[in-house]
Structure 1
Amino acid sequence: MQNLLTRQRQQYQLNPMPSLSSRKQQLIELKKAILRNQDKLCKALDEDYGQRSQYDTLISDLLPAIAGLNYSVKNLKKWMKPSRRHAGLLLSPASVKVHYQPLGVVGIVVPWNFPVMLSLGPLTAALSAGNRAMIKLSEFTPKTNTVIREVLASVFTEDQVAVFEGEADIASEFTKLNFDHLLFTGSTAVGKHVMRAAADNLTPVTLELGGKSPVIIADDIDLDLAVERLIFGKCMNAGQICVAPDYVLIPEGKQQAFIEAYKKAFTKMYPKGVSSKDYSSVVNQRQFKRLRDWMADAQAKGASIIPAHASAIDDLQHRMVTHLIIDTKDDMTLMQEEIFGPLLPIIPYQSLDQAIQYVQARPRPLALYLMSMDPQIQKQVTEQCHAGGMCINESLLHVGADDAPFGGVGPSGMGHYHGKEGFLTFSKAKTVLKAGKFGTGKLVHPPYGKLVQKIILKTFMR
């Protein structure tokens, strides 16, 4: 890997500022390659998961990748243009511009839940900014990795974009390389190890992590509508999404009505429960066992668990419907760790202030969802709760906003990408001050105490 990084950096130095046309051509060819291979990507993900809905893949993996490419191609000329800044009277008549320069070689570490979007999305941003890239794919999606390799090899040489696979030891070695920037998507626990590894090289990092993303259901909203807006976010990819609703805060006395509304909506979307063709499996037996263990832990500590459908679990195919969990306690594992699957704790609150305080008292999440039509409540929650991003009366969809940054805060991550913010993340914003034949710098040269220096200090220090 180090040899390939050296090669990529050498090639970058031969062309440190790729032209607009060459960058756009790369993005256009990448888009064509994805579209040519969309059926193979859907089939590969289905095989990696045991069953993954084709539309889950199309909507959540391929569509955002294509949309991001289209948006970047459309706006790249504007992003690349140096921005003129105000020099101020003190520096006149010099001009000041900010030039956006490629960093060099970007490392991208990809998780298993959306291996297409979470590899090609960051790659789109890196290429838009003029960089080369090395990508470490997850060992849990081997068939998908094969197709991604084919897609990238049809467009790029290894000196432009290189792909690696392997277990945790390979990932550890990868994150220790002296990249010009490293983007990691995964758990908070692993993100800490990645940041330590990058620190030895002072490699700047973007960490897209996760956390427990809450849904606050206010008292004013109709429960059927609230469930309609959050259920897709919990059920897509069987809840294996970094911004999936992790738990629900609901006014006291409404838990049972919420459960009935959720079961009704789930049955409408997935009539055959775990046997529904549109419902995806948990990715593997390891993750499935983790979820079963967490349910057992919650039950042993007094929780009640209600499946959203009678056909609730298929152990052989590692599939389970949403399991709604009430009577939770803070010492339960599923109340301490990001769930990342189809378990949904329901927590009653007595007042909105109490619900807000509950969120504030916990690590800042990657996403926050509010279900309320009351403008005052919307303003209060938006201003008082921190999260990487937020939806009001929706879930997940903020991630698809091409013209807005995506990223966490605190334990849910640092930095962001998507759209222009992705371009900026993988660029060096370099300030360039340009002086002509006449310059004012000599006015402040020693010897000090001259009249002009006194005038300057008197004028600008007030």
Structure 2
Amino acid sequence: MNAPEFPSNDLSIPAEFHACFSGQRAAFLKAPDPSHAERLSDLKALSRLLKDNQAAIAKAIDTDYGGRSEFETLFGEIFASLDGLRDAQKRLARWMRPRRRGVDPLLYPGARNRLIPQPLGVVGVIVPWNYPIFLSFGPLTGALAAGNRAMVKMSENSRALVELLAGISPKYLPEDKLAFFADGGGRGPAFSSLPFDYLFFTGSGTTGRAVMANAARNLTPVTLELGGKSPAIVAPDYPIATAAERILWAKTFNAGQTCVAVDYAFVPRGSEDEFVNHCRTLFAKRYPDINGPDFTSIIDQRSYDRLTAALDDARAKGARLLNLAEGQTPDKSKRRLAPHIVLNVTPEMELMRREIFGPILPVLTYSDLQEVVDAINSRDRPLALYPFVHNAATRRFLIANTRSGGVSVNDAMLHVVQHDLPFGGVGPSGMGHYHGREGFDTFCKLRPVFEEGWISAVQTFMQPPYTRFSRRILDLMVWMKS
């Protein structure tokens, strides 16, 4: 491995980044191919970290949010991460095996081809604030399973959590294998400028472009998990009540601050009032007190102000706003935002121009499903697509004629926690995959190895001077391939 281009006098890189990167690089060079037992031990250490400290982790995330549902943290972060780690431990030996590839037995008699999965080295992981455990331990599962070392930079909105993780992590894994860092003060660009062997980023498209540009200076390969406006489509044959129940869950979980949340929904024309009425009834039942412990706060004042401004913009441009928490008074000091359904939306409204990332659901109506497909395809390709449909032909039509990072049929968001399925975006919603075997492969070099057999036909018959016999052999080979 060549030494990275990492000038020691680069004052823009914090000293702790320098020291950790250099230490992890040196440790990797001493042990570049960890055994199955070592990797399994690392994955189990990650699991123990989460299990031993789940109460402290939930408390830290609650502090960072100013009010985050403990149940949502335990289910959406701790359990989901442990489930992925357990799945990786079960499949790791199979993932690590060399993979046989075909070889032409006439031209290369006795030869064999293999792909050998090998660790890349030092991996960087940049984590957003909305699911700081799941979106760090997910890529870490793949990175450590593949035999790498990792540096993780958390969000500036995860200050309590990163302080906790930085303190407890060395009890489970040494810092030359795993280290957590806080954000702030320009540290983000410095982190993405390190000459990692791989860089994994989850966040907005705007920041993702900057991360990719910084990584390009070192020719560091990247996975970008971005976001976008993920639509739900309620087909005419699907019960409105069931669709409302499942879409509302996805839109209120973590107060809609989820990259794969339903961003907007299509319902058959004439059914919008039925959809709204079901959502109102469901919300009152599920959240009798929006200021209680089950509903999550908006992460910070800037995000709260952005969401309320988007509602004001929609109202001013003719939209019909329906407050699902009618009769309740959300605590603004806790940044509790009442969920809204928005009807009569138009493309120029702010709600339809960018990802919402909050408990606001625009609902559009349609008469023909081709209208829906055309509307989705006129936008950037989303991170997820949610068709609610029983008819198999309609389901095939919607999936075949649109493009998205992933699909959940008759539910929302749950494809993300199917650990044997890869997760990732497409186009503006991201590039690359993680989870399961694809996550393992992301953090590997699948190294091709050709091993010559007992005789080399090329060396025997294809060496100059090229004779008439050589040409006849070549003509025969071309004929056999035609």
State the AA in 2 paired with 1:257: E
CA-CA distance at 1:3 after TM superposition = 3.4
| 8 Å contact kept, 1:216–1:248 | yes
In the alignment, is residue 458 of structure 1 matched against residue 463 of structure 2?
no
Deviates more, 1:352-361 or 1:163-172: 163-172
Sort the Cα spacing of 1:168 and 1:364 in 2 relative to 1 into closer, same or farther, 3 A. farther
- Equivalence for 1:360: 377
- Equivalence for 1:439: 456
- Equivalence for 1:87: 103
CA-CA distance at 1:2 after TM superposition = 2.9
State the AA in 1 paired with 2:402: C
SS of the residue corresponding to residue 42 of structure 1 reads helix
- Equivalence for 1:212: 229
State the AA in 2 paired with 1:283: I
Task: Name structure 1 gaps, 5 residues minimum.
Answer: none
Q: Distance in 1 between matches of 2:109 and 2:358?
A: 59
- 1:281 is matched with which residue: 297, 311, 314? 297
State the AA in 2 paired with 1:270: Y
In the alignment, is residue 103 of structure 1 matched against residue 117 of structure 2?
no
Within-5 A mapping of 1:31-430: 31-89=47-105, 90-167=107-184, 169-272=186-289, 274-310=290-326, 311=328, 313-430=330-447
Number of matched pairs: 461
- Equivalence for 1:7: 23
Deviates more, 1:103-112 or 1:314-323: 314-323
Sort the Cα spacing of 1:304 and 1:168 in 2 relative to 1 into closer, same or farther, 3 A. farther
State the AA in 1 paired with 2:324: A
Identity %: 40
| 8 Å contact kept, 2:246–2:411 | yes
Q: Distance in 2 between matches of 1:286 and 1:148?
A: 26
State the AA in 1 paired with 2:115: V
CA-CA distance at 1:168 after TM superposition = 6.1
Q: Distance in 2 between matches of 1:354 and 1:426?
A: 40
SS of the residue corresponding to residue 333 of structure 2 reads coil
| 8 Å contact kept, 2:162–2:181 | no
Deviates more, 1:423-432 or 1:89-98: 89-98
What's the TM-score once normalised by structure 2's chain length? 0.93
State the AA in 2 paired with 1:3: A
CA-CA distance at 1:328 after TM superposition = 1.1
CA-CA distance at 1:452 after TM superposition = 4.4
Q: Distance in 1 between matches of 2:405 and 2:329?
A: 32
SS of the residue corresponding to residue 334 of structure 1 reads helix
CA-CA distance at 1:436 after TM superposition = 4.3
CA-CA distance at 1:277 after TM superposition = 2.1
After superposition, what is the alpha-carbon deviation per residue over 1:212-239, rounded to whole angstroms, capped at 9, x for unaligned?
0001111111110111222211111000
Q: Distance in 2 between matches of 1:235 and 1:453?
A: 71
CA-CA distance at 1:160 after TM superposition = 0.9
State the AA in 2 paired with 1:410: G
SS of the residue corresponding to residue 420 of structure 2 reads coil
Q: Distance in 2 between matches of 1:119 and 1:451?
A: 62
Q: Distance in 2 between matches of 1:150 and 1:227?
A: 43
| 8 Å contact kept, 1:312–1:320 | no
State the AA in 1 paired with 2:469: L
Q: Distance in 2 between matches of 1:2 and 1:358?
A: 48
SS of the residue corresponding to residue 108 of structure 1 reads strand
- What is the aligned-residue RMSD (CA, Å)? 1.3
Q: Distance in 2 between matches of 1:40 and 1:401?
A: 27
What's the TM-score once normalised by structure 1's chain length? 0.97
- Equivalence for 2:13: none
SS of the residue corresponding to residue 273 of structure 2 reads helix
Q: Distance in 1 between matches of 2:44 and 2:437?
A: 17
CA-CA distance at 1:119 after TM superposition = 0.9
| 8 Å contact kept, 1:93–1:439 | no
Structure 1 stretches of at least 4 aligned residues deviating more than 6 Å after TM superposition: none
Q: Distance in 2 between matches of 1:278 and 1:453?
A: 78
Task: Name structure 2 gaps, 5 residues minimum.
Answer: 1-16
